[in-house]
Structure 1
Amino acid sequence: MNKNITIQVCMGTGGMAAGGFEVLAAFESLMREKNIPAEFRKECSMHKVGCRGLCAKDVLVDVITDDRRTIYQYIKPEMVERIIDEHI
């Protein structure tokens, strides 16, 4: 597992309209299902973020590890498990 993982889900107006709440809920649900605590252990955190001006590509999700940032676009709840499996 990578250390210091941060997951950011766009929760600006566009992100919320595109399904940001559902994507966030999918992350929370799958993390519990995979026995990863809601606070993502001490070295992990999850944050809601405001508008970045890229609403046409919502829902945007950033996964930030110690050494890099991966930005996902057009994320739907059914895509969340793959993101978790690839990074955590």
Structure 2
Amino acid sequence: MTETLTIEKDQCVQDGKVQFCAGGTVSLEHYWVTEVIQYRNLAVYTNTSNTPDQGPGTLVTLGPNTFMLEIKTLKGTYISAFGEFDR
């Protein structure tokens, strides 16, 4: 079984090496069915450079080629993830 979380970013700003996005579409594919996840808050931070950098408005330092995701759904569930981009 494969589950895929897809985020189409929107409302993005670049601050140094880190990009911050506060909007977009979030969907989850589970058993070949895709469901759009409605949210109250979305924050996606991406650092596609080769050096660490701090995200705007956060104390978190993102390593090279990494991302941080925070979502609060309409039901109040929190989804968070850290990851590294394929190279």
Structure of larger gyration radius: 2
TM-score of the two chains, using structure 2 as the length reference: 0.33
Which has the higher relative contact order, 1 or 2, with Cα contacts under 8 A spaced 6 or more apart?
A: 1
Higher strand residue share: 2
